[in-house]
Amino acid sequence: MGAVPAVAAAPASQAATCAVTWGSLAKTSAPMATGRIAGVRAGHHTCYDRLVLDMTGKAPGYDVRYVGTVRAEGSGKPVPVAGGARLAVSVHKGATAIPAMPSVAGYPTVRQVRWAGSFEGYTTLALGVRARLPFRVFTLRDSATNTSRLVVDVAHHW
């Protein structure tokens, strides 16, 4: 019987650990909730880039989808955003002031975050990404502080 070559246990490949089944179709949730957007932040993770909207009150309804052009709330004017694809991130909450948009310099997938306005209880952000990649959307609630977060993750790869 011949010797079987020793194979060192290799860490799981990034492709295996970053497998996503999110898809690139629109994600929506209908509940209306009162409150305001308190801040916007971004984060970079091994398998995805993340956008977080911090809000007062319960988690809002949302509509997140790829669009040809993100349109400003109220005026409908185009909101230019860097990247090969654009996600319109709309929430059913207002904003008392325009929060600072996070810097995403050096992120592998997200290219730019831009404010697209608030009008009649709806607020939209333009999220420029490298290409049309899978994404997921979910909300988190902290009842102790009466705050919530809308989270948008965009995968680095299919």
User: For the chain, which ranges sit under pLDDT 70?
Assistant: 1-16, 32, 96
Residues 6+ apart with CB under 8 A from 4: none
Domain presence at residue 14: no
Rounded Cα distance, 39 and 63, in Å: 18
Domain presence at residue 77: yes
Asked whether 88 and 79 are in contact (CB, 8 A), the reply is no
Single out the residue of 114, 121, 90 nearest to residue 27, CA to CA.
Answer: 90
Cβ-in-10-Å burial (0-12, 13-18, 19+) of 156 comes to buried
Rounded Cα distance, 57 and 55, in Å: 6
Single out the residue of 24, 25, 18 nearest to residue 108, CA to CA.
Answer: 18
Whether the full predicted model's pTM is greater than 0.85, yes or no, is yes
Asked whether 125 and 115 are in contact (CB, 8 A), the reply is yes
Domain presence at residue 43: yes
Domain of residue 84, CATH code: 2.60.40.3500
Domain presence at residue 117: yes
> Per residue in 43-71, pLDDT tens?
999 999 999 999 988 888 899 999 999 99
Domain presence at residue 105: yes
List C-alpha distances in Å: 116 to 4, 44, 75, 87, 158: 61, 22, 10, 11, 28
Beta partners for residue 152, in sequence order: 51, 137
Domain presence at residue 80: yes
Q: How many domains does the chain have?
A: 1
> Per residue in 141-151, pLDDT tens?
999 999 999 99
Domain presence at residue 50: yes
Domain presence at residue 13: no
Which pLDDT value is given to residue 12?
44
Strand, helix or coil for residue 36: strand
Give the residue numbers spanning the domain of 27: 23-155
Rounded Cα distance, 55 and 72, in Å: 20
